[in-house]
């Protein structure tokens, strides 16, 4: 009886902790937002709307599920797009580290 009680308490507190963690933007996403500005992504992309600038607006990208050219949105495909670019978007493989690109991807997921 007592043990079951303790167990359910543990489960509830675990669930609460995960819920809070899911809401707070990760450190990666916070750094990614800074990179989005400093690496000039924002020159070509709106982050707060779907409206096209030079490239597609990136708000709701992951919810949309497909890129402008029909490619399925996954961490791998988005990473590939940033690493290799797609004219007129420049490739970023020489301008950003793998870790930085991952941070930008985490940020894009929050849009």
* Residues found near ligand HEC in the complex (CB under 6 A): 39-41, 43-45, 54-56, 58, 67-69, 78, 81-82, 86, 88-90, 92, 104, 108
- Smallest separation, CB 40 to ligand HEC (Å): 5
- Nearest residue to ligand HEC, by Cβ distance, number only: 55
Nearer of residues 29 and 58 to ligand HEC, judged by Cβ = 58
Nearer of residues 17 and 68 to ligand HEC, judged by Cβ = 68
- Smallest separation, CB 32 to ligand HEC (Å): 8
- Smallest separation, CB 34 to ligand HEC (Å): 12
Q: Identify the bridge partners of residue 89 per DSSP, sorted by sequence position.
A: 86
d(CA 11, CA 79): 35
Contact 108, 61 (CB under 8 A): yes
Output helix, strand, coil percentages for the chain, rounded to the nearest 5. 60, 5, 40
Contact 32, 104 (CB under 8 A): yes
- Smallest separation, CB 26 to ligand HEC (Å): 16
Find, among 69, 57, 74, 70, the residue nearest to 111 by Cα: 57
């Amino acid at each position: 009886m007592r043990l079951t009680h303790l167990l359910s308490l543990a489960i509830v507190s675990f669930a609460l902790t995960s819920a809070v963690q899911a809401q707070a933007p990760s450190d990666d996403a916070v750094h990614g937002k800074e990179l989005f500005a400093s690496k000039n992504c924002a020159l070509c992309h709106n982050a707060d709307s779907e409206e096209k600038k030079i490239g597609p607006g990136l708000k709701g990208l992951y919810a949309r599920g497909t890129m402008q050219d029909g490619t399925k949105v996954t961490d791998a495909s988005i990473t590939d797009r940033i690493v290799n670019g797609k004219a007129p978007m420049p490739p970023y493989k020489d301008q950003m580290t793998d870790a930085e690109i991952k941070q930008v991807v985490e940020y894009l997921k929050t849009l």
